[in-house]
A = this chain, B = another copy of it.
Amino acid sequence: MALVGASGDAAKNTARPQRYLRKHGYAGRIFPVNPSRPEVLGEQAYPNLRSINQPVDHAFIMVEDVEAAIEQCGERRIPVASVYSDGFAETGAEGVARQARLVERARELGVRILGPNSMGIVNLSERIALTVNGVLEMDSPPAGGASLVSQSGTMLGTLLSRGAARGLGFSKLVSVGNEADLGVAELVELLADDAHTRVILLFLETVRDARALSAAARQAHDAGKPVAVYKLGRSGAGARVARSHTGALAGEDRALDAFFRDCGIVRVDMLETLIEIAPLLAGKRPPQRTRKPRVAVVTTTGGGAATVVDRLGLAGIEVEPFRDLTMKSTPKQYRQTLEGLLASDECDAVLATVGSSAQFHPQFALEPVVQASKTDKPLAAFLTPHAESSLRLLAESGIAAFRTPEACADAFAAFFAWRAPRDPACFPRPEGVSALGIPAAQQAIAEAPHFTHAVPYPVALKVLDAVHKTDAGGVRLNVSEREFAEAVRALGKDKVLVQRMERGLAEAIVGYRVDPVVGPVVLVGAGGVLTELQKDYALRMAPVSEAEALEMIEEVKGLAVIRGYRNLPRGDVRALAHAVSAFSRLCMLPEVAEAEINPLIVKSDGVVAVDVRVVNA
C-alpha cells in the first residue's frame, strides 16, 4: 500500500490510513509517500511513488496533484488508486472536465480509480483498513458476511459503527466517491464473486448507471447474494441535498422503486434497517407470493409486540398467529412454540419479541430463539429494552434482530416486497404508437366552412392547439347533431377535432416515459386530476406483460371502482391490462420520450383511448 500524502502528524486525517492499517492488523508493507520527511509515523517514507523500489498493489492518494500521482501509478504499474482528494465532479463544470481528463489518462495508463472524493475501503475479512474514515479509531470491529458499497463516505463509518456496537459485522466496505471509474455496479459484481460476502448492502444518493447496476444485481442474484439498498431522495428536499452534494441527476423516486424491484434489489425505508436486514436476507431467495404475507408473532410482552404488529398492519402484512405467552412460560415452551410456527404453513415468517429479560439475562432470554430448529422461513427478534449484548448474541447466531419496532416492520415489508429479477421481457417491436392495438375513439378533423364529418352523434368537440384542453376550455362534450353548428361556432376555430362521445365505467390514465435515471417506465392510474394530486398510480420498468399490468392495476386504489368495489359494475380490467402492456412496448421506439393516454375509458367490455399525447425525444 502506498499512501500518497501521508502525514507525520498523527492527529491529521491524512495520517489515518497508515495508523488504521497498522492498528487493524494489516500484514503487508506500507509505503508512506511524503517528500518532506525521511520517515512517517515510524516507517520509511518515500519522496514519490517512483522511488518505491518494490511492488505496490494499491495507491491511496491524498494530495492535490492527483494527476501527477496517477502518472506515477502508471509508470510503476500500480493497478488501482483510491483517490481521497476532492475538487472534481462534485464542484461543478470545471471539476467535471478535470475528472473526465483524469479518467481518460488513467485508462491509457491501465490504472483503475476508486473515487475521487472516496474515503477508501475497509476489508475486515482480510484486515485492510485503507481509509480516512474516523470510525476506524474503534478497536476490533467485528468481521461478518455483509459488504457495503456507499456513495457517502461518512455513512460508511456510520453503518460500520452502528453495526459493530451490536455485533453485526462486515466483510468489505467501499466508499465509491464520485464513481469516476469504478462504480457501484462493478463493485456489486466483484462482491457477488467474493467468498466472504453473503449479502450486499448499498447506501445510495443516486444511481449513476442503472443498466450496469441492473446487470450486476442479476449477477448477485444468480450467485445467491441478496442485495439491499437504502436510497436517499424519497422527498424532493432529500433529493436536492443528495444532488448538490454529488452533482448527480435525480430521477423520480417511484421510478427507482420500480427499478430496484425489476432487478431484484430489496429497498429498505429506514437507515438502520439496511444493516439489520442483512441476517434476514443471508442465504434466502425472494419469497414466493401466493397470499397476503403473514408473520407469526410470539411474545411475552403484549405491549412490546403490539408496537411491531401496529407497523406490520400499516405495511399490509397480516399478523397470524399471535401467541401471547405468559411470563410463566418456560424457555422450552417458548422454543416449541417457535419451532411449531417455523414448521407450519400458517405463516410465512416468525417474529419473537423479547422483553426486559433480554437486558439482564441475555443467554436465558434468547435461548429459545437461538436454539429453535430453523427452517427456510425467516426468523427475527425484536428486543424491547436497550439490550446490546442480546443483539450481539443474536448477530453471532445469524438471527436478524431489531432495535426498533419500526425498522423491524420495515425489514419484513421489504422482505415480502422482494422479487426475483425480472426476465428481460420479449415483446414484438411495435410499428408506432398507432400500431399498439389500443382501441381509439372514432374521430375526424372537421374544417370550415362546413365542418362536415362522418362521426356518429353525440360527439365531443376539441380545439387542436391546447395542451391541457380541459383547463383551456377548448372542449365541448356530448354535442348532439342539432347543437353541432352552434358548438363549433363557440369554439371560434377553423379546424376542430370531432370525436365520438365515449362513456364507460371509469377513466384510467396510462403513461410512458423515459426516466433520466432508470430509463423507460410505464404507469397506470385512475383518470382525472386526482391521480396527480393523490399520487395514486402504479409504476414499473417498461415493458410489462399483461400479468404484470394486472398486478399494477391491483395497486391503484382509485381503480377499485372497476375491480368490483361495493356493488359497482366491473370494468374490463383485462382490456386495461392489455392496453398498459401494449403502451409499455413504446420502450422499443427510441424516438418516443414520453406518451400518455388520458383518459382511457374503461367499459364493461373493452377500453377506448380518447386522448393520446406523444412527445418525441
Contact = CB atoms under 8 A, between A and B. Distances in A.
A387 B157 CA distance: 12
A310 B386 contact: no
Interface in A10-53: 13
A151 interface: yes
A574 to B, nearest CB: 21
A162 interface: yes
A247 to B, nearest CB: 12
Contacts of A151: 303
Q: Can you tell how many copies of this chain the complex includes?
A: 2
Interface stretch (A343-351, A370-378, A420-428, A530-538): A530-538
B386 A162 contact: yes
A72 interface: no
A324 B311 CA distance: 34
Contacts of A203: 303
Nearest to A86: B326
Interface string A516-536: 000000000010011001101
A307 B271 contact: yes
A85 to B, nearest CB: 13
B271 A312 contact: no
Contacts of A238: 306-307, 309-311, 313-314
Contact of A472 (B153, B305, B560, B567): B567
Given A138-B360, A468-B566, 13 more contacts: A134-B360, A137-B359, A137-B360, A153-B303, A157-B385, A158-B356, A158-B385, A233-B310, A241-B309, A242-B310, A271-B406, A529-B566, A534-B536
26 contacts: A13-B327, A134-B360, A135-B359, A137-B360, A152-B303, A152-B306, A154-B302, A154-B304, A155-B303, A157-B384, A158-B355, A161-B386, A164-B386, A205-B306, A232-B307, A232-B310, A234-B314, A235-B309, A235-B310, A235-B312, A238-B306, A241-B309, A244-B324, A270-B406, A471-B567, A533-B560
Interface of A: 13, 133-135, 137-138, 150-155, 157-158, 161-162, 164-165, 203, 205, 232-239, 241-242, 244-245, 270-272, 301-307, 309-314, 318-319, 322, 324, 327, 355-357, 359-360, 384-387, 404-406, 468, 471-472, 526, 529-530, 533-534, 536, 557-558, 560-561, 565-568
Nearest first, the 6 closest Cβ-Cβ pairs linking A and B are A152-B303, A235-B313, A238-B310, A237-B313, A161-B385, A245-B302
